[in-house]
Chains A and B, each alone.
Chain A
Amino acid sequence: MTGHDQTAEPFVRAESLGMRFGRAEIVSDVNLAVYAGDEIALTGRSGSGKTTILLALSGLLRPTTGQVSWPGLGSRPGIRRSEIGMVFQAPSLMPELTAIENVTLPLRLRGVNRPEAHVDAVTALTAAGVLEMADALPTQLSGGQQQRVAIARALAGRHKLLLADEPTGALDRAHAQEAIEALRAGVVAAGGALVLATHDPELAALLTDQLSVAEGHLAGTAIR
């Protein structure tokens, strides 16, 4: 939102985005564009619509009204998915794979060969501070460790657009800050952008931009 190239295409653009589940309107009239270098914190209370906005930006949910486009991420099938990384609210690891296998998984699905994927996974696990748990299964990890593995999985992908939904919910303050810093570093290294949903104002303050979400609406102007 600040300090980026105004002539570049945004990684993602939401225009008049509305999401409705059944009769309930979860999100309405959201306009947002995310450019390279952006670090945006979506803040708001539980149930305000943060997760739904992130899922729509990731392309996993199709908007009920309005539209979401990814002009800066390419249009070939599959490219967009590989360029968008997601950290979910819960750790969301494959329970039958070890920590390093979970981190390797999206890389291998993208066609990265096995040795290269392994190196990237080790780097990401190191950055997330859980390398020593690389061979543990999710059930052998604490909730915080699982979440850090999930963050490592997102970092290893070197995605252009990284969307993180309450990634620090299971972490204490110190680890949460470390995790946010790791995400920011990863985004910077990949030349990408970070959109992070959190209800913690202190963590949101670590990012350059903050947008508040209340009852499905974004407060303030977020599109340029």
Chain B
Amino acid sequence: MRTFRWLGGLVRCRPVELLTAALSVAIAVGFVASLGAFVTQSRAGLTVRASASVPVDWQVQVTPQSDPAAIARVVSTLGGLRASEQVTYARVAALESTGPGGTRRTGSAYVVALPPGYATSFPGVIRPLLGASTGTLLLQQTSANLAAAPGDTVKVQAGPNLRPVTVQGVVDMPAEDSFFQVVGLAPGAGATAPPDNVLIVPPDRFAALVGTTTVIHQIHVGFRHDHLPADPQTAATVIDGRANHVQAAVVGGALVGNNLGVALTGAGEDARYADLLFLLLGFPGFALAAVVAGLVVALRSDRRRREMALLRLRGATSRSVLGLIAGEAGLTALVGAVLGLPLAMLAVRLALPSGSTLSTRWAVIAVVGGIVLAAATQALPQLGLIRGQGAATVAAEAARGPRQRTPWPLRAGLDLILLAGAALAFALTARSGYQVVLAPEGVPTTQVNYAALAGPALAWPGLALLVWRLSAMALGRRTGRWARQRPGAAPELEAAAVRRRRQVIARGGAGLAIALGLATSTAVFTSTYQQQSRVDVALTVGSDVSVVEPPGSTVGPEGARSIAPVPGVHAVEPLQHRFAYVGPDLQDIYGVRAASFARVGQLEDAFFPGSTVSRTLRTLAATPDGVLLSGETLHDYQLHPGDLIRIRLQSGTDQTYQPVPFHVVGQVKEWPTAPKDSFIVANSGYLAAKTGSNAVGTFLVSSQSPATTAAALRARLQRTGAQVEDINSARAKVASASGLAATDLAGLSKLELGFGVLLALACSALALAGGILERRRALVLLGALGATARQRGRFLTAEAWGLVVSGVLGGGLIGASIAYLLVKVLTGIFDPPPASANVPWTYILTLLALVLGVTVSIVAGVGRLVGRAGPSALRDL
């Protein structure tokens, strides 16, 4: 009852104080809940994208002794089934075609029978390119190998006989490797190469074409993905369990190629990066919110100490005082939660993609965090009073001087110990190649190397304490000797006050440094992340806009002339694409105009180890037969710059592979449109001369407005069959290495940057206001001694200046160090790894301007108000 009366009194008499404390808790609750919503939403996004990326969820392969129809019946009873289709295929000896250039013959080929409704049930498997989309279809690569087009006749050799079919269309199979996978291989057994030659026929033609060749029967299965659990790992478990159930039900009659399960498991691994982001960005934010809450409580600590001292002097027991403190902490937490959850909802609505909502689980975690925060910040500082040690007289409490003694963590050198620990942890992480998400040998799932997080985790408090130490040292040397002597000014006394309050000012400066450091480091991190995801998309598309010629096109570099005049086109570069053998390895080879390629290609120095973009391209341009090889190729074949290498290139005339001499000029890690693994870059002129074909696969276009330019190009080129893609529309589709899409990243950025500003401003405002209120009595005294508002302001300004300078410089130190650690430790999250961090100067300068604005307002506003002595303040003197 006493506690409720006390709380009622607080609500009536100190509503502002209570609300301020609750607001600081609300920021923490809002931050955690909205970050939790990000994690939930990004995990759900991973599940949606992973399941959408799989053209066929299951490939149920019937074992040789089993009846496909019986297996199909079992499959048809599965829950959540969307579609199932029977697919058969067989491997034949060869395909053959005869044209004006003579007879062409492939190696072994697959003949696949797809039922009529297959394309509707599984739209992502076949992509029509030329001619009909159903009937007898040739794979794009096979079409090129046989020089066969729709209307031509192709012969299938199965056994001794050649059986003719008429080609009705040319198609691409984007998921060819998955389609022809060996079902039943152990996880991690390694991928099998997809076939180069595929002929798709209607089921009624299949038996006659393949004869007695061994036939593989599969039932392709698609599920309704909207019923999957939002968490990818949970969804993978559900799908894996369902697959096991089927395999058990058919008693060895079939094996399940669980494409969906594999994709979801992979997404679950990607989700670990989202968890890491939450830990590395979210936890410091929560800690900072705790600092802000602590500062709020510190604002009234003097008065509260007096109140508690009075209660103790008047006989209140420890238990009753504890009850009052606990009641107040509970009320603060309750109001904080009531305000924090709507704040989180607002943040989610503003920052995250539409449809994102707060999850109940995270809302509960945030509220519990708020309660802990309120209890820790309100109760801990008063424990001394509860124990009875603080039961001094009220006057003694009022007369307490500034704490000059260095706090024990600094006396013990805790900052240096923590930083040494951080350096050691970082060095160990660096030695392991910054592998934070590990895939231990023999274990199919990944694990997070939490020890790698020790670097940033130790660096945060270490740097904050170091800022405290350095600020206190610098402030302790202030004498005011060099200040301009003005009548009525007392710089030596202002300096003396700052010197003796250095620990208090340095503590506030360290708090501000943490706030600015958090805002800066997250801004640098998310900005670098976005920069690299843009680079990733640019590498996938090739440039701002790419024009991909249809298969079999013979358009040469002169095709650029029809692209260049299109509005919005800044520069055009042709990019040849061929296949070539380096030893037994088939690799992609790209022919470029080295002297001018940089106009359109998004190239970075980091793509050329040991060199730069300009130097590498200059060298390539100066060496007509020069090639850039991947590090893996250089290593595997013991090659060095200057070495001669013979690469087998496919001739443009007869499609046969002929050795062509090249000289190695350097190493390349990434190239626009190139795959992630090994590839080759050469001069297009040399390539055309040696292969007898200057056909260009892709034209890369640079443009200021990619979407508009792409639309104009589509209109111009629609009759040629060329595919036009632009970087903006591709950004939403291409997921980063962490599996997080650009929309997720944008949401995370907005959340982090928004709360970063909020916390930095709250921190600077509260640290300053706290300092001013703590000096309220001194300011009133100054006024009573005849100091003008300007003179009182100078005393405050000296202190505020010390706090802001140490906060800003310390924030820079913390921000730069933590951003460096984050970018390095989370290297695996970037694709490609950044050459350097991207510093968002606009955000940082705006943040600094806001902090300075708040500083000036607080010093001018609060200082003026506090210095205006009322009757009670004067009577306290």
Chain A positions near chain B (C-beta within 8 angstroms): 21, 51-52, 55, 58, 60-61, 78, 81-82, 86, 88-92, 94-98, 101, 104-106, 108-111, 114, 137-139, 153
Q: In this complex, which of A61, A81, A96, A98 has the most chain B Cβ atoms within 10 angstroms of its Cβ?
A: A96
- What are some 10 contacts across the A-B interface (CB < 8 A)? A55-B874, A60-B874, A78-B786, A82-B786, A86-B784, A90-B877, A95-B401, A96-B501, A98-B496, A109-B791
- Alpha-carbon distance between A33 and B823 when the two chains are bound, in angstroms: 76
- Alpha-carbon distance between A138 and B395 when the two chains are bound, in angstroms: 14
Contact A88-B778, Cβ < 8 Å, known A96-B401, A104-B493: no
> How many whole Å from A194's CB to the nearest CB in chain B?
18
B488–A89 CB distance below 8 A: no
A110–B493 CB distance below 8 A: no
- Alpha-carbon distance between A139 and B399 when the two chains are bound, in angstroms: 8
> How many whole Å from A68's CB to the nearest CB in chain B?
15
A96–B500 CB distance below 8 A: yes
**Residues of B contacting A58 in the complex (Cβ-Cβ under 8 angstroms):** 784
**Residues of A contacting B778 in the complex (Cβ-Cβ under 8 angstroms):** 94-96
A95–B784 CB distance below 8 A: no
**Residues of B contacting A104 in the complex (Cβ-Cβ under 8 angstroms):** 490, 493
> How many whole Å from B842's CB to the nearest CB in chain A?
40
B786–A81 CB distance below 8 A: yes
13 more contacts with CB within 8 A, not counting A60-B784, A90-B876, A97-B500, are A55-B871, A58-B784, A82-B786, A90-B395, A94-B781, A97-B497, A101-B496, A104-B493, A108-B490, A109-B782, A109-B787, A137-B401, A139-B400
A78–B788 CB distance below 8 A: yes
Minimum CB distance partner of A117 in chain B: B490
Chain B residue total in the interface (Cβ 8 A): 32
Contact of B781 among A92, A108, A137 (CB under 8 A): A92
Contact with A along B373-403 (1 / 0, CB 8 A): 0000000000000000000000100111110
Q: In this complex, which of B492, B791, B877 has the most chain A Cβ atoms within 10 angstroms of its Cβ?
A: B877
**Residues of A contacting B783 in the complex (Cβ-Cβ under 8 angstroms):** 60
* B186 at the binding interface (Cβ < 8 Å): no
**Residues of B contacting A92 in the complex (Cβ-Cβ under 8 angstroms):** 781, 784, 877
A109–B490 CB distance below 8 A: yes
* B251 at the binding interface (Cβ < 8 Å): no
B488–A61 CB distance below 8 A: no
Chain B positions near chain A (C-beta within 8 angstroms): 395, 398-402, 487-490, 492-493, 496-497, 500-501, 778, 781-788, 791, 869, 871, 874-877
**Residues of A contacting B487 in the complex (Cβ-Cβ under 8 angstroms):** 111
- Alpha-carbon distance between A202 and B402 when the two chains are bound, in angstroms: 38
Contact A106-B785, Cβ < 8 Å, known A97-B497, A101-B496, A138-B401: yes
A61–B871 CB distance below 8 A: yes
A95–B786 CB distance below 8 A: no
- Alpha-carbon distance between A21 and B875 when the two chains are bound, in angstroms: 12
> How many whole Å from A10's CB to the nearest CB in chain B?
21
Closest 7 CB pairs of A and B: A108-B490, A139-B401, A81-B786, A95-B401, A96-B500, A111-B487, A88-B877
**Residues of B contacting A105 in the complex (Cβ-Cβ under 8 angstroms):** 490, 493, 782, 785
**Residues of A contacting B786 in the complex (Cβ-Cβ under 8 angstroms):** 78, 81-82, 106, 109-110
B493–A108 CB distance below 8 A: yes
Contact A60-B869, Cβ < 8 Å, known A95-B399, A111-B488: yes
> How many whole Å from B458's CB to the nearest CB in chain A?
34
B493–A21 CB distance below 8 A: no
Minimum CB distance partner of A19 in chain B: B871
Minimum CB distance partner of B500 in chain A: A96
**Residues of A contacting B395 in the complex (Cβ-Cβ under 8 angstroms):** 90
B402–A95 CB distance below 8 A: yes
Minimum CB distance partner of A62 in chain B: B871
A109–B488 CB distance below 8 A: yes
B784–A97 CB distance below 8 A: no
- Alpha-carbon distance between A66 and B786 when the two chains are bound, in angstroms: 24
**Residues of A contacting B488 in the complex (Cβ-Cβ under 8 angstroms):** 108-111
**Residues of B contacting A61 in the complex (Cβ-Cβ under 8 angstroms):** 871, 874
**Residues of A contacting B785 in the complex (Cβ-Cβ under 8 angstroms):** 86, 105-106, 109, 153
- Alpha-carbon distance between A53 and B869 when the two chains are bound, in angstroms: 16
Minimum CB distance partner of B785 in chain A: A106
Minimum CB distance partner of B870 in chain A: A61
B496–A97 CB distance below 8 A: yes
Contact A114-B492, Cβ < 8 Å, known A86-B784, A96-B402: yes
Minimum CB distance partner of A95 in chain B: B401
> How many whole Å from B228's CB to the nearest CB in chain A?
65
> How many whole Å from A24's CB to the nearest CB in chain B?
11
- Alpha-carbon distance between A61 and B872 when the two chains are bound, in angstroms: 11
- Alpha-carbon distance between A153 and B784 when the two chains are bound, in angstroms: 13
**Residues of A contacting B490 in the complex (Cβ-Cβ under 8 angstroms):** 104-105, 108-109
A96–B874 CB distance below 8 A: no
**Residues of A contacting B787 in the complex (Cβ-Cβ under 8 angstroms):** 109
B496–A96 CB distance below 8 A: yes
Minimum CB distance partner of B788 in chain A: A78
**Residues of A contacting B788 in the complex (Cβ-Cβ under 8 angstroms):** 78
Minimum CB distance partner of B787 in chain A: A109
- Alpha-carbon distance between A58 and B784 when the two chains are bound, in angstroms: 9
**Residues of B contacting A78 in the complex (Cβ-Cβ under 8 angstroms):** 786, 788
- Alpha-carbon distance between A6 and B15 when the two chains are bound, in angstroms: 56
Minimum CB distance partner of B488 in chain A: A111
A51–B493 CB distance below 8 A: no
> How many whole Å from B227's CB to the nearest CB in chain A?
68
B791–A94 CB distance below 8 A: no
- Alpha-carbon distance between A55 and B873 when the two chains are bound, in angstroms: 12
**Residues of A contacting B869 in the complex (Cβ-Cβ under 8 angstroms):** 60
**Residues of B contacting A138 in the complex (Cβ-Cβ under 8 angstroms):** 399, 401
**Residues of A contacting B876 in the complex (Cβ-Cβ under 8 angstroms):** 90
B871–A97 CB distance below 8 A: no
**Residues of B contacting A109 in the complex (Cβ-Cβ under 8 angstroms):** 488, 490, 782, 785-787, 791
- Alpha-carbon distance between A95 and B404 when the two chains are bound, in angstroms: 11
Minimum CB distance partner of A93 in chain B: B781
Minimum CB distance partner of A21 in chain B: B871
Minimum CB distance partner of A81 in chain B: B786
Contact A51-B496, Cβ < 8 Å, known A60-B869, A138-B401: no
**Residues of B contacting A89 in the complex (Cβ-Cβ under 8 angstroms):** 877
**Residues of A contacting B399 in the complex (Cβ-Cβ under 8 angstroms):** 90-91, 95, 138-139
Minimum CB distance partner of A105 in chain B: B493
Q: In this complex, which of A86, A98, A108 has the most chain B Cβ atoms within 10 angstroms of its Cβ?
A: A108
> How many whole Å from A104's CB to the nearest CB in chain B?
7
- Alpha-carbon distance between A58 and B786 when the two chains are bound, in angstroms: 11
- Alpha-carbon distance between A42 and B751 when the two chains are bound, in angstroms: 65
Contact A95-B496, Cβ < 8 Å, known A109-B786, A109-B787, A111-B488: no
- Alpha-carbon distance between A108 and B399 when the two chains are bound, in angstroms: 24
Contact A96-B497, Cβ < 8 Å, known A21-B871, A109-B490, A109-B791: yes
Q: In this complex, which of B401, B496, B501, B788 has the most chain A Cβ atoms within 10 angstroms of its Cβ?
A: B401
- Alpha-carbon distance between A58 and B783 when the two chains are bound, in angstroms: 12
- Alpha-carbon distance between A78 and B782 when the two chains are bound, in angstroms: 14
- Alpha-carbon distance between A153 and B493 when the two chains are bound, in angstroms: 15
Minimum CB distance partner of A140 in chain B: B401
> How many whole Å from A54's CB to the nearest CB in chain B?
10
> How many whole Å from B329's CB to the nearest CB in chain A?
30
Minimum CB distance partner of B487 in chain A: A111
**Residues of A contacting B791 in the complex (Cβ-Cβ under 8 angstroms):** 109
- Alpha-carbon distance between A21 and B400 when the two chains are bound, in angstroms: 28
> How many whole Å from B820's CB to the nearest CB in chain A?
38
Contact of A101 among B493, B782, B871, B875 (CB under 8 A): B493
Q: In this complex, which of B399, B400, B493 has the most chain A Cβ atoms within 10 angstroms of its Cβ?
A: B493
- Alpha-carbon distance between A60 and B783 when the two chains are bound, in angstroms: 9
**Residues of A contacting B398 in the complex (Cβ-Cβ under 8 angstroms):** 90
- Alpha-carbon distance between A81 and B782 when the two chains are bound, in angstroms: 12
**Residues of A contacting B497 in the complex (Cβ-Cβ under 8 angstroms):** 94, 96-97
- Alpha-carbon distance between A110 and B787 when the two chains are bound, in angstroms: 8
- Alpha-carbon distance between A104 and B480 when the two chains are bound, in angstroms: 15
Q: In this complex, which of B398, B784, B786, B869 has the most chain A Cβ atoms within 10 angstroms of its Cβ?
A: B786
Minimum CB distance partner of A94 in chain B: B778
> How many whole Å from B771's CB to the nearest CB in chain A?
12
